[in-house]
Amino acid sequence: MGTLSLPEKICANRKRAVEELIKGRDAAAQLQILLGKSVGDRGPVSAEGLVVEISRSFSDSISALMSSCGQDCEVCKVPATTQVGSPSCGDGRSVDSGESSKMPAAKEKRGCYKRRKSTSESYVKVSTTTEDGHAWRKYGQKEIQNAQFPRCYFRCTHKHDQGCLATKQVQRIKEAPHMYQTTYFGHHTCRPYPLNNHPDDLQNPSSDSDPVDKNLLCFGSNSITTDEKEHQHQYPSCRPSSVKKEYCGEETVQCNNLSGDLPAVEPIVWPELMPLESPSVYSSASTSSHGFDMDLLLESGDFGGGFHFDEASFF
DNA sequence: GAAATTTGACCAAG
DNA sequence: CTTGGTCAAATTTC
C-alpha cells in the first residue's frame, strides 16, 4: 500500500470492481435460470451458493468503488438532475413553478407535474411480497407496454399529514409472476406508526432489522449511504398491524424475526397485478437477462427456509 | 362518514 | 405520437 499513485490505485480498483461485477452478473444469470427450473432440476449448482456468490461479488465491487474515490468524487454524487424530495418530483404537484406559468391555475389542472427522470434517486427491490413495513396508498395503475402485468403506483400514506414524499412502483415480474419488482423513490420522512414504539427501534436503526435493507441493492442513488438508508428505513415493522389494506399478505423474507420459521411463501397479490393472461409460458431466461438487471433475487422459499441471508456477507 | 381504491383524464418525456 | 406518471372524481370498503 502506498506504493501506487492515486490514479493507479483508482485504476486497479476499478478493474477489480469490473471483474466482480462481471462475476456477479454471470452468477445472477445462472440464478435466474435456476429460478426458472423446478426444485428438483437444479443440477450441480445450488441457488444458495449462487446467492452468496452474487452477494459477495456485489459487495466487493461496491467496496472497491467506494475505496477508489474520495468523498468528493463526482461519480459518487447524486445526479444533479433530479433529487427526490426536491420540488420537482416525489409529488408531482409541487412541481416546477417556472413551468407552471403556462398553466392556468395550477390546482385546477390535473397531471400538472414533472415527470421523474430515470436518473432520479431510486432503488429496486425484488421480492415475493411487496410488504416493506411502510404504509402506502395506491394512487394509480397503468398498463405498461411489453409488460404482462400492470404497474401500480403508491405513495406514502403520510404524504399529506406529514409531507412524506416517498413513492414506489410495484410490478409483477413477467418471468417470475410470483415475484414483485418494487421501485422506491424518495425517502420516508414520516414517522409511520407508533406501534410498539421501542425507542431502540427508532433510535437504533442498526439493530439489523430492516427487511428492505437486507435485500436490496441501491442503484442510481449513489448518495444513499448506509447511514442514510438506515435512517430512511428506521421503522422496521414487519408486522402487518402497521399496514393498511394493501398489506394483507405476509412477509416472506427479510424480517428481523424470521429466524427459521418462515411463513409459507405466499405473496401478496393485488387482483390488478394478476396476469392479464395466463402466464403458462415463461419467457426463456436468455431473453430476459436484462429484466432483472442488478436486482438481487432473494426468495426464502427457494432456500428451504433454512437459509439465512447474512447481512455481514453483504457489506 | 371517513378513508382507501379504482379509473379515466391530463400532461411531460422521449 | 406514444408511453408512462400523476391527479382527482367516483366508487367501494370499513
Nearest to A136 by CA among A151, A164, A157: A157
Q: Which residue is nearest to nucleotide B9 (CA to C1')?
A: A110
What distance in Å separates the CA atoms of residue A267 and residue A251, rounded to the nearest whole number? 8
Is residue A309 pLDDT above 60, yes or no? no
Q: Is A273 in contact with A149 (CB distance < 8 Å)?
A: yes
> How far does the CA of A92 sit from the C1' of C5, in Å?
9
The answer to whether the beta carbon of residue A141 comes closer than 7 angstroms to any atom of strand B is: yes
Provide the β-strand partners of residue A136. A156
Nucleotides on chain C within 7 angstroms of protein Cβ: 2-8, 13-14
**Total-model pTM:** 0.49
Find all residues with CB under 8 Å of A23, minimum gap 6, and list them. A53, A57
- Tens of pLDDT, residues A133-177: 788 999 999 998 888 889 999 998 888 777 788 889 998 887 777
Instruction: Write down the pLDDT at residue A16.
Output: 67
Positive or negative: CA dihedral A75, A80, A82, A87: positive
- Tens of pLDDT, residues A8-24: 555 566 666 666 666 66
Nucleotides on chain B within 7 angstroms of protein Cβ: 3-14
- Tens of pLDDT, residues A170-206: 988 877 777 888 888 887 877 655 444 443 333 343 3
> How far does the CA of A299 sit from the C1' of B1, in Å?
42
The answer to whether the beta carbon of residue A269 comes closer than 7 angstroms to any atom of strand B is: no
The answer to whether the beta carbon of residue A160 comes closer than 7 angstroms to any atom of strand B is: no
Higher pLDDT, A64 or A124: A124
Nucleotide nearest to A245 (CA to C1'): B4
Nucleotide nearest to A114 (CA to C1'): B12
Nucleotide nearest to A143 (CA to C1'): C4
Number of Cβ within a 10 Å radius of residue A3 = 6
What distance in Å separates the CA atoms of residue A80 and residue A121, rounded to the nearest whole number? 10
What distance in Å separates the CA atoms of residue A184 and residue A187, rounded to the nearest whole number? 8
> How far does the CA of A111 sit from the C1' of C8, in Å?
9
Instruction: Write down the pLDDT at residue A151.
Output: 92
- HSE on the CB side for A182, CA within 13 Å? 24
- Tens of pLDDT, residues A226-265: 333 333 333 333 333 333 443 333 333 333 333 333 333 3
- Tens of pLDDT, residues A60-107: 565 555 544 443 444 333 333 333 333 333 333 333 333 333 333 334
Nucleotide nearest to A157 (CA to C1'): B4
